[in-house]
Chains A and B, each alone.
Chain A
Amino acid sequence: MQRNILALIMALFVFCSGRAASEEEPVRIGVVLPMSPPGAYASGNPMWWAVQQAVDEVNARGGILGREVEAVLGDTRGVPEEARAVTERLITRDRVVGVVGNYHSSCALAALDLFRDHHVPYIAAEPWADDVTALGYEEVFRISVTNSLYRDITVDWMISSGFESIAAVQEITDWGLGVNEKLTQAWNEAGIRNETAFTDVKTEDFTGTLLRFTQWSPPPDMLFGSITGPGAYRIIKQAYDIGLAPSPQTVFYATNECLHPEVWEVAGEAARYITVTQIGLPPFAHNMVTRQENARFEQEHDRTMNATVMEAYDSFMLMCEAIEDAGCAHPDSIIRALENIEWKGMRGTYTFPYGTDNPVPEDQPDYMWHQWPDVTLYLFQYTEVGQSPEEGTVIWPPEWSQLPEGQYYVPVPE
């Protein structure tokens, strides 16, 4: 710690002294998100609203470095090539001092070397692919979960729940294939019989696919509807309509798309008892920042912030904090500041222990580089129609579970 602080002071001295920031210019931070089709615009838009909330707050208290802060939006449309182009535009034309955001891993990965080549700090908000941090770029940080972490935690739950057979419907996207590869490997190692049906993410009717699983005897213990976008809701309704899941025999495990209230509009009754992951803290572990920001967001947008939206808010704030800590907008200073940061956001206190001065140890996976180590996720079940995620019952991990000891999910009544 001592050494880090020393290094930080050194860095500030070295990089900031030579550069007098122009007082009038706002500090520009790039925000890359999927805002329109074919990307996951239903996530991208509220993420952008959260960033705007952060901008307002920072400017209301005087900006950073005494200058106004400005968020420059780049719409990736969820297309890797466009993500790359728009990131390059933010860096070279808009001259942003840092970039935050991304929802799709494929988009983050497509633009990753731009951060390295242009030496611009980037905080990944939601991309899960291990490689985003595992590549070890000096400029790249992450506050979301990684595919491997996600697998470790959720598969532990599946094993504890005693699932012997799992049926999965998996979207064919970089995200879906990445998750699936890790999950099936873990399932096989755990001796869980499993079968994955791959499908186009835009499929309207999964009924044909699901009917196939109704032929299992006995029925699967768990159905994993691994679909993002509105398909996430449709597959629940369609599985329910043919009596597959959620059912007394089969748990429905859904993607965190189902954190949006629209799950009730589209799937209705069918979504009662589905299991969902939230990449963050359960409501009783929320801190003041979480409550305050959430209340503000809800007032303005008539919905609560889910973990993904919080990630957008936190990643932007984190970048602002780092610039403020750095005392200037020089990339080396910002990176140094991030490596030494300890800042409390909506999802906990952010630190990046593994970086330049403290390389990832042998016994830790590569993706721990510039990765927030305390990132966590929990599983909950909706138990009533129309619940918000906060009202659901937390079922995993055991230290947070609201279920009696030894019970790992709420079964659907016969």
Chain B
Amino acid sequence: MDVELVVQDLEKRFGGVRAVDDLSFAVRGNELVGLIGPNGSGKTTTIDTICGLLRPSGGRISFQGRRVDHLPPYRRAEMGLGRTFQVTRVFRRMSVLQNLMVPAMATGETDRSRTETRAEEILEMLTLDHLGSENADSLSGGQRKLLELGRVLMLDPDLIFLDEPFAGVHPRLRGQIHSYIRRVHANGKAFVIVSHDMDSIFELCQRVIVMNEGRKIADGDPEAVRSEKAVIDAYLGEASEREQLEHVGSGEGPDA
């Protein structure tokens, strides 16, 4: 199925703070989009609002041709919107395998053994297979990131938001995640990846959206975006990221 997410004039205020301000963009087909911006620029808030955990202060969100801004998060999940969290949120007192079983409720897959087989496959791919019966509580930060990634894949959504999927993940694994994202992408799924790991963004994405202070300041081909003045200005305050912007592909990101 072709994906279509349209965000129009989206606004989210926290008291006086405009965390998301007049944001419009669309994701169509099985795009692989990077969403970047300095700390506090509103990336996570954007995801929270699109997937329904936060109520927008203004604007509209439609998914697959339907307005979803008044639907609860689980309805949006059922429609095919998946996400991971920047600060991992696994079900800590369940085993790793059980964690992956949770989204099966929503997909309507009631066959336990088929679900388990799929979950085991995903665990193997994420190199977590040896931890299947461990409590999620006992995982390291990086392993939890992977587990969350596995969980959103179990939901089998059409559009997946990944919020900092590489933070805390061992560099060796990062390549593996890249190839898994590509594989899923090849199956027709779309991604919006939020990351401070510019290597990964520029390696994976065909398109990059840049946010600053809640607003979209650039949107387009990665190479073109990187040289836009507004983007460089926005990152000026954050020297390290600016450096990254200039040295894409030639070094390790801060999350290494």
* A/B contact in complex, CB under 8 angstroms: no
